[in-house]
Chains A and B, each alone.
Chain A
Amino acid sequence: MAVYERTWRRYSGVLTPLKGRFLVVTKYAVADAFASRLFTAFYAICFLPSVIGLLFIYLSHNAALLQQLGMPADIMEILTKRFFMILFSWQALPAFLVAVIVSPSLISADLANNALPLYLARPIDRREYVLGKMAVLAILLSPMTWIMGLLIFGLQAYFEGGGWWLQNYRIGLAYLVGHLTWIVVISMLSLAISAWVRFKPAARGVLFGIFFILAAFGQAINGVTGTSMGDILNLGRASASVVLAMFGAPTPSGLPVIFNWLTLMVTTVLSVWLINRKLRPHEVVR
């Protein structure tokens, strides 16, 4: 065991660069998330759809095995777009659940006992603090979504050879842009909720509520007005429509895709505004 003298002295050693300092916030929050074995196990399970996808791509190019299973040798030619669309949703769902589990305590833990002034009394500002917290979700969600997605896309392109990737570039684009958009929207929304709702289960409930209760409300508006205007409130449908449009597939929303993009953008901007309102280095007494 180290023996420490009861003394204090100035620090005169090397300092880390200011630009990447916000990643300290990220590092500690990620470590905190993985401190739970249950979460670690769940996180590993979240990769299952992608692993199955990889396996499927491999098997679909193994003619002998396909013959043994009684499946057509050109199964991927038939299934390509459908397979990638299904895989996308099976990647996005666990990502949403990971965000639901991790995000409620990201900001609220610092606000609960007034720790924010201690962060902001150091050489990081509010923007970097939020960036650091957002990076937590980006780091956790990226591997199971767009990184695995592009890996599977790349494997398929490798097996197919020729100009397959060029003919199907929209799939790769949908995986990259679709998942990144999803990560940004869900991160900002969940951080805003974490900033305003300090009780974890309540924060999770609000996040679910925004997706499902607003969707039901939007559905009711659609029913009453006989239009699709209610889809503006349906975040899930807006996300799905944006991604399906990128795949070149029909969208579930009756609105033009630009409205779905608008829904996602307004949600993100509103979330940023809410975070900005709440994150102060001091209590605002009104």
Chain B
Amino acid sequence: MTTCRLLEKLLAVLSLFMLDAVVPATAQQKTLDLVKARGQLNCGVNTGLAGFSQPNDKGDWQGLDVDVCRAIAAAIFKDATKVKFVPLTAKERFTALQSGEVDLLSRNTTWTMSRDTTLGLSFAGVTYYDGQSFLVKAALGVKEVKDLAGASICVQTGTTNELNLADFFRSNGLAYYPVVFEKNDEAVAAYNTGRCDAYTTDKAGLYAERLKLGRVAGHVIFSDVISKEPLGPAVRQGDAQWLNVVRWTLNAMLNAEEMGVTQANAKEMLASPRPDIKRLLGQEGSFGKGLGVSDDWAFQIVSQVGNYGESFERNLGRGSRLGIERGLNALWKNGGLHYAAPIR
């Protein structure tokens, strides 16, 4: 009798584990189908970086990276609110994407070759062209990076910043003392208490962190950068359809800006005679079908989230406390680097 019961239990436990082992296989399913079935997009974002992803005082997430998540939800569900934001540290982000905890990373992540080729990631494009720089106390009177020889520098672990820092000082034959933290907040706090002379991250991040330090004038951001940091959304490798959804959402936001389609005029633009606008807004051709979404996908993106320029100004530019210039992030027509492939 006991034998039978024990055996039964054993079998039950075993079958549980077998089931468990089978579950990840669903990851082989297409991400788009999974997201549609779930009715919600799981988007990995920064734990808090002003301008990119940060909850406001009402607890709503805001920022350029957040807008990309919302735009994708708008394209899939025609509802930009169907997003679950999953805040991730730099250390957690890739594992979270790999394990399927999030459908995409929209977390100011630098596109590099090794991340593309060995981490099992595919980058869908560039949302923000950045470069690494340094934040120092104005009282130090330091003007450029090379003056920092012998300084203590706070940096966040597992970032390209940590590696660029080592590269830069090595190639210039300069000494420095790194102090490495897991979280950005800890690194900034240590800089603020005087543990470090400088804090380093991407320039936009420096502007954001400086705001938190209170007296902005007390801290200087170097104008020169020591690296290229193209930041963009990444997905798991091997799902071309999902990669397309993310890539073309971004392209739609950029193209909309180029064509002058804004959140405010999107409805009127539906009647525009221009063929490129007609294609963008789904009035001509059937571009959504190939993407696996409805044909008015880009209209939903622009009318609910806005075009790239609007999102930039709202979160990072003139409409925000950061006040960052478009610079490299202007459209190619205006001397910037953003050049989206055409919708046709």
Question: Does chain A bind chain B?
Answer: no
Q: Chain B residues in contact with chain A, CB under 8 A?
A: none
Listed in ascending order, the chain A residues whose CB lies under 8 Å from chain B are none
